[in-house]
Amino acid sequence: MRTHEDPAPELRHISCSPSRGRKMAPSHVLRCCQRGLAWIPVIFIALVVCWSYYAYVVELCVSTITSIAEKLIYLTFFHLSFVMFVWSYWKTIFTKPASPSKEFCLPKAEKERYEKEERPESQQEILWRAASTLPLYTRTGAGAIRYCDRCQVIKPDRCHHCSACDMCVLKMDHHCPWVNNCVGFSNYKFFILFLAYSLVYCLFIAATVLQYFIKFWTNELQDTPAKFHVLFLFFVAAMFCISILSLFSYHLWLVGKNRSTIEAFRAPVFRTGSDKNGFSLGFRKNIAQVFGDQKKYWLLPVFTSQGDGLTFPTRLVNADAEQASVTLHPEPSKSVTDVPVSPEGESQNHLLNDGQHANDAEDVLADEPQKSAESETFTVSMESWS
């Protein structure tokens, strides 16, 4: 989160000097050019979609297909998939990425001390004091508090700085040039639906155009201006199907594992160490975190994700759910009540029921705990669903 405090007098004087203004002008123009160029992929997709609408509705359905019933069926299902695709794409593009709240910013006095301090050890002491009251479970690879010098904010769990958006994004997944936006907590559901409906859109076009593609290709139909549009429409739809299918499958796998793209490549580091499954609560609960509790809203591009993006339920164990069997060691100083629960998202409490330290029953088969005088060990057998 950017701070908007007034600069110090000397900085204000420097920024107002003519020479400073001349130096800043080129960089400002460069940023404007970069922002304009960033919209080129989105404009390209919009042009392809507009052309596909014209080619399918006008050139195929109106000019080529002769059966009235076939026209009505094709146009009805085409417009349903088209509306859902455009709706989800629009929401993915124009939903602003969520950033950390003010409570994760350093107090003014602590921030001044942090900026004046030159030793990293002393800076970490300041961050540790400021983070003592925050619901943080993840650390850097060295075990330090994660802090963004650019945004001057302590990073919440699963939060990362996006250099393209120049801001810290809650539960950041990746920055997507095709939507010119950062995909994170606020729009991840929209992004998944955008992939799903774009795949449905392309599959429907390819399937319904195929017979007329063959007829034009074999000269069974006369050469008309619609021939080029029909032939090219099939090639474009098939090409996009292949590319979107692989990306959509990958993100469905991530949702089932409750991981972001960043976490898939670099496992989050908890107090107990690195754990790639630290946020996994079981397949059904992982799905609910992104799509919500009410299934009737799952297919609609409206926000239903659980929580507030600042805190997430964790398994609080350093175990790998993808292994056939693991041993979970309970931490004596932690319990289920230690899991940070979002005060703004009451639906997140559903994730913290009796099965907090294990996956769903369909994913986990737990043995009875065996207790001894010296230690307490829980042996859990897990099915591999990777």
Give the mean pLDDT per block of 10 residues along the chain (386 residues).
40 35 61 89 97 96 94 97 98 96 92 91 93 92 93 96 94 96 97 98 96 92 90 96 96 97 95 91 95 96 96 69 36 35 38 39 38 35 34
Please report the pLDDT score of residue 154 as a whole number.
Answer: 96
Active-site residue numbers? 176
Please report the pLDDT score of residue 300 as a whole number.
Answer: 97
Please report the pLDDT score of residue 272 as a whole number.
Answer: 86
Please report the pLDDT score of residue 26 as a whole number.
Answer: 67
From the CA atom positions of the chain, what is the Rg in Å? 26
Task: Give this prediction's pTM.
Answer: 0.76
Please report the pLDDT score of residue 5 as a whole number.
Answer: 43
